A = this chain, B = another copy of it.
Amino acid sequence: MPEKVIPDIVVGRLPIYLRALQRMLAENRHVTSSQELGERLGISAAQIRKDLSQFGEFGKQGTGYSIDYLADQIRQILNVDKVWDIAVVGAGDIGSAVARYQGFANRGLQVAMIFDNDPGKIGTKIGPFTVQDIAELEPSIKQAGIKVAMIATPSEHAQEVAEQLISAGVQAILNYAPINLAVGEHVRVQYIDPVIHLQRMTYYL
């Protein structure tokens, strides 16, 4: 019996739902509906119900969804009911900002180590972390069992760094370098490049 495959586009919306639910909790709300959630996010109520129904039945007819319960369920689905350690590679402006970023708290992720190849940076402190020599990347990541990494190096080094990360056991990479990475089937990559987002909007100006 083959397990049902969830479309990636549905998986991609779950973190958005979760973020909105956590926001509602912060506003001291306890119950919501697919309609309200949809209005906040600019997504149709039907789509939200359809997406959630891929994973189970989380609501009650007539009343909607318990925010607390639904958030818990989505956290379990996304595997962020535990906390994943992240390795950051590159201690420049972006790597430093990421290492100090407060926004990971309570979202199932935390930075655990940061690497650079610049002798002038190795050994210095960034937030609570001491910058490690990139030569230690593979053993450190293997030893810690880290599966998630962020690349914040210049483009020229991103592919090479990705390969090291993968051979150290990393399976999910968030790449801030503006270049496409070639990786094997079993490795996930996501990209953050502000220019891509901006150019997508300048089209309409």
A interface with B by C-beta (< 8 Å): 11-12, 14-16, 18-20, 23, 40-42, 77-80, 84, 86, 93-94, 96-98, 100-101, 103-104, 107-109, 147-148, 150, 155, 171-172, 174, 178-180, 188, 190-205
When the two chains form their complex, are residues B20 and A180 in contact, meaning their CB atoms are under 8 A apart? Answer: yes
When the two chains form their complex, are residues A23 and B179 in contact, meaning their CB atoms are under 8 A apart? Answer: yes
Q: A16 CA to B174 CA in the complex, in Å?
A: 16
Known contacts A93-B96, A109-B198, A188-B204; can you find 10 more A-B pairs with CB under 8 A?
Answer: A14-B199, A42-B180, A79-B202, A86-B198, A93-B97, A103-B178, A104-B195, A108-B199, A148-B198, A148-B202
Q: A104 CA to B196 CA in the complex, in Å?
A: 10
When the two chains form their complex, are residues A101 and B94 in contact, meaning their CB atoms are under 8 A apart? Answer: yes
In the complex, chain B residues whose CB is within 8 Å of the CB of A20: 180
Residue in B closest to A95 when the chains form the complex, CB atoms: B97
Residue from A78, A97, A180, A202 whose CB has the most chain B CB atoms within 10 Å: A202
In the complex, chain B residues whose CB is within 8 Å of the CB of A180: 19-20, 40-42
Q: A65 CA to B11 CA in the complex, in Å?
A: 35
Q: A41 CA to B182 CA in the complex, in Å?
A: 9
Q: A42 CA to B8 CA in the complex, in Å?
A: 15
Quick one: copies of this chain in the complex?
2
Closest Cβ–Cβ distance, residue A178 to chain B (whole Å)? 6
Option from B41, B93, B108, B199 in Cβ contact (under 8 Å) with A100: B93
Option from B16, B190, B191, B199 in Cβ contact (under 8 Å) with A198: B190
Known contacts A96-B97, A97-B94; A11 and B198 CB within 8 A of each other: no
When the two chains form their complex, are residues A93 and B103 in contact, meaning their CB atoms are under 8 A apart? Answer: no
When the two chains form their complex, are residues A172 and B202 in contact, meaning their CB atoms are under 8 A apart? Answer: yes
Closest Cβ–Cβ distance, residue A129 to chain B (whole Å)? 14
Q: A133 CA to B86 CA in the complex, in Å?
A: 35
Q: A190 CA to B18 CA in the complex, in Å?
A: 18
Residue in B closest to A101 when the chains form the complex, CB atoms: B93
* 8 residue pairs from A and B, CB less than 8 Å apart: A14-B203, A79-B202, A96-B97, A103-B178, A103-B195, A107-B195, A109-B202, A190-B201
